[in-house]
Amino acid sequence: MLDVRNLEVVYEDVILVLKGMSMHVPDGEIVALLGPNGAGKTTVLRALTGLLDVHRGEITRGEISFDGEVISGRQAHEIVAGGISQVMEGRRVFAELTVEENLRAGAYTGGGRADASDRVFDLFPVLAERRRATAGYLSGGEQQMLAIGRALMASPRLLLLDEPSLGLAPQLVEQIRELIVEINEQGTAVLLVEQNATMALSIASHGYVLETGKVVLDKSAEELLADQDMQEFYLGVHAGGAGHSFRDVKHYRRRKRWLS
Amino acid sequence: MTTFLQAVVSGLALGTIYALLALGFVIIYRATDVVSFAQPALMVFGAYWAMYFATVIGWNFWVAVVIAAVLGAVMGAVIERLFLRPLVGRPVFSAVMVTIGLDIVLRVIVDDLLGINQRTMGDPFGLQTVNIGGITIPQSDLAAMLGAILVISALLVFYRTTKYGLAMRAAAFDQEAAMAQGIPVGRMFGLAWALAGSMAAIAGTFISMGNSSLSRSTWVFALRALPVIVLGGLDSIRGAIVGGLIIGVAERLVAAYQPGAAPWLGAGFELVVPYIVMLVVLLVKPYGLYGTAEVQRV
Ligand SMILES: Nc1ncnc2c1ncn2[C@@H]1O[C@H](COP(=O)(O)OP(=O)(O)OP(=O)(O)O)[C@@H](O)[C@H]1O
Ligand SMILES: [Mg+2]
């Protein structure tokens, strides 16, 4: 369904952020894209949805195709109309508009199915209850649901989620996780960007780990969960007593730099 | 008392026209973060079209007003597409400079079309007045007021209820998030300019009818809408309306009373009033009456 080949992205003409990354999202599946802060995950999503311009970024090499059609270089609204919607990092609901208006904004392209809003209200009954509330007054969890609901109004075939669990309490993360599974079961493929690797890999079929703009691991979710490096650096499982090898220390330093 | 009421009513008529002009600035600012200094030229050009179709071609005045509004919208949209769109993503300052340049160029053209004479608009009002409860109101004032209220209401309905109005509000709030919903924000910029051009055309027509006329100096009037938007808050629709009315009424009250009460301030003092009101309000509320303290943009 979605194919990314050797994608290279540069910001401000000089800052090389994606260094030839490739990935594949098969129809109807959940794929996780993991990696530390600053690895370039959000940049991948921007490239997929035509939002690099806004950030003075540019695809300098490589190609993105969706159902066999090359979509790199298309404008954001064409990509949404073509069936890919993104839930941006930080939710980005239109805080001054009501819940209902936010959803209508999500339906702007007119490509959504007639029952799109029924589907959204089924998935998120709280949005139906609060449809006339100003979005800015919703809780963090409700805003995340609104952001997802808004993206679903275009009835996308591929949904991109950028850190949907960020800043949410554990039981809300669990709720979001179940909702993602449900959305996927209704036939929408999902590309899930997460720092919470445990959560993401528990529902994904496949995972990619991105570090400084390169894919360093590309495995099925099961294999990733079992992977030694994965366990140590992303899943919070520490190899007992063995001590860190030099390679690990270097790796750790690199991560610290990304954090700054 | 009659003097007072008369001043208030004529102030409200003036204020609704200020509001129309101020809304043009605000709509463009909300959509693009640019204060457009091309509004004066668009206003005069719009008034020119109305005058042309009403007096030179000889069509019904209101038909001419509608044509002027449409041509104003087209001019706004074309200007945006040709000169402003390429600057999207560049510093706002460059775009503001371009609007100043456009204003100068367009005014040279329209001045040439106008010639050096005062032109009457071909409106049916002339100097006629109506008498309501002892207050004498120029018919043209009444028409301007009603016309402006109609246009402003239509704009509010457009913003609140239509798909494009909603898209414009969404894009004004968060441009990138709007793009992520599939809203083509470039077209929303064009739409904002079209609306602003149309409202400037109508405002220009209204201020030139009745006992006024259209001339090369009419453009100055649009600059008096600047204190209105600063007063109301650059990004506030409500602020433009309320600010327009406050300044319109204040101006006419001063015009009515100052020559008797404080003749030493000199003639034409009312023209400074918008700026004085603006300065006083800014001391109390730095972002204007309804302005957003920090307008977050991406
Ligand atoms: N507009 C920009 N201009 C310049 N550099 C940028 C820009 N946006 C992002 N970057 C840089 O690109 C790199 C990747 O950023 P990106 O936001 O894609 O990372 P991420 O993996 O999403 O991180 P996080 O987990 O913190 O969200 C970072 O080093 C960041 O500083
Ligand atoms: Mg990110």
* Statement to judge: residues A40 and A133 lie in one domain: no
A43, A45, A92: best to mutate for the B interface, most B CBs within 10 A:
A92
Q: Is the pLDDT of residue A185 over 90?
A: yes
Position in ligand 1 atom list of the atom nearest CA A36: 25
Shortest Cα–Cα distance, B25 to chain A (Å): 21
The CATH code of the domain that includes A10 is 3.40.50.300
Cα of A32 to ligand 2 centre, how many Å?
13
pLDDT, tens digit, for every residue of B76-116? Answer: 999 999 999 998 878 889 999 999 999 999 999 999 998 88
Q: Do B89 and A53 touch (CB under 8 A)?
A: yes
B163, B164, B179: best to mutate for the A interface, most A CBs within 10 A:
B179
CB contact set of B142 (below 8 Å; sequence gap of 6+): B13, B130
- ipTM value for the complex: 0.87
Q: Do B169 and A97 touch (CB under 8 A)?
A: yes
Residue numbers in A near B174 (CB within 8 A)? 92, 94
Percent of chain B surpassing pLDDT 70: 98
- Domain range for residue A116? 93-155
Q: Which of A18, A23, A41 to mutate to test the pocket of ligand 1 (most atoms within 8 A of CB)?
A: A41
Q: Is the pLDDT of residue A250 over 60?
A: no
DSSP letter string, chain B: -HHHHHHHHHHHHHHHHHHHHHHHHHHHHHHHS---TTHHHHHHHHHHHHHIIIIIS---HHHHHHHHHHHHHHHHHHHIIIIIGGGTTS-HHHHHHHHHHHHHHHHHHHHHHH-SS-B----S-TT-EEEETTEEEEHHHHHHHHHHHHHHHHHHHHHHHSHHHHHHHHHHH-HHHHHHTT--HHHHHHHHHHHHHHHHHHHHHHHHSTT--B-TTTTHHHHTHHHHHHHH-TT-HHHHHHHHHHHHHHHHHHHHHHHHH-GGG-TTGGGGHHHHHHHHHHHH-TT-SS--SS----
Q: How do strand A2-11 and strand A15-25 relate by DSSP bridges?
A: antiparallel
Residue numbers in B near A94 (CB within 8 A)? 169-170, 173-174, 177-178
Cβ atoms of B37 and B265 within 8 Å: the answer is no
What's the sign of the alpha-carbon dihedral A158, B163, A110, B74? negative
A20 belongs to a structural domain: yes
Residue numbers in B near A79 (CB within 8 A)? 182
Q: How many domains does chain A have?
A: 2
Shortest-distance Cα residue to atom 13 of ligand 1 = A38
Cβ atoms of B203 and B144 within 8 Å: the answer is no
Q: Give residues (CB < 6 A) around ligand 1.
A: A 11-12, 15, 17, 35, 37-43, 55-57, 89, 195
A129 belongs to a structural domain: yes
Tell me the average pLDDT across A116-137: 94
Summary mean pLDDT of chain B: 90
Among candidates A77, A92, A95 on the partner chain, residue whose Cβ is nearest the Cβ of B182:
A77
How crowded is the C-beta side of A71, counted as CA atoms within 13 Å?
27
Shortest Cα–Cα distance, B264 to chain A (Å): 49
* Statement to judge: residues A29 and A115 lie in one domain: no
Tell me the average pLDDT across A149-170: 94
Alpha-carbon span B208 to B191, nearest angstrom: 26
Domain boundary residue among A155, A182, A199? A155
Please, which pLDDT band fits residue B263 given cuts at 50, 70 and 90?
confident
A229 belongs to a structural domain: no
* Statement to judge: residues A23 and A51 lie in one domain: yes
Please, which pLDDT band fits residue A248 given cuts at 50, 70 and 90?
very low
Percent of chain B surpassing pLDDT 90: 62
Shortest Cα–Cα distance, A164 to chain B (Å): 15
pLDDT, tens digit, for every residue of B133-181? Answer: 888 889 999 999 999 999 999 999 999 999 999 999 999 999 999 999 9
Alpha-carbon span B47 to B212, nearest angstrom: 12
Q: How do strand A158-162 and strand A189-194 relate by DSSP bridges?
A: parallel
Report how many Cβ contacts below 8 Å link chain A to chain B. Answer: 77
A43 belongs to a structural domain: yes
Cα radius of gyration rounded to whole Å, chain A: 18
Q: Is the pLDDT of residue A85 over 60?
A: yes
How confident is the model at residue A236, as a pLDDT?
65
Cα of A259 to ligand 1 centre, how many Å?
11
Shortest-distance Cα residue to atom 18 of ligand 1 = A40
* Statement to judge: residues A29 and A41 lie in one domain: yes
Residue numbers in A near B179 (CB within 8 A)? 50-51, 54, 76-77
Please, which pLDDT band fits residue A143 given cuts at 50, 70 and 90?
very high
- Residue B54's nearest CA partner among B124, B117, B112, B115 is B124
Q: Is the pLDDT of residue A260 over 70?
A: no
For residues B132-155, one letter each, b for 16 or more C-beta atoms within 10 angstroms of the residue's C-beta and e for the rest, the string is eeebebbbbbbbbbebbeebbeeb
* Statement to judge: residues A150 and A165 lie in one domain: no
Cα of B276 to ligand 1 centre, how many Å?
47
Summary mean pLDDT of chain A: 88
Q: Is the pLDDT of residue B132 over 70?
A: yes
* Statement to judge: residues A36 and A165 lie in one domain: yes
A235 belongs to a structural domain: no
Q: What's the pTM?
A: 0.87
Task: Report in angstroms the alpha-carbon separations of A197 from A200, A239, B41, B297.
Answer: 5, 17, 58, 31
Q: Do B177 and A94 touch (CB under 8 A)?
A: yes
Domain boundaries, chain B: 14-222
Q: Do B170 and A76 touch (CB under 8 A)?
A: no
A233 belongs to a structural domain: no
Please, which pLDDT band fits residue A259 given cuts at 50, 70 and 90?
very low
The answer to which of A32-36, B22-26, B119-123, B258-262 has the lowest mean pLDDT is: B258-262
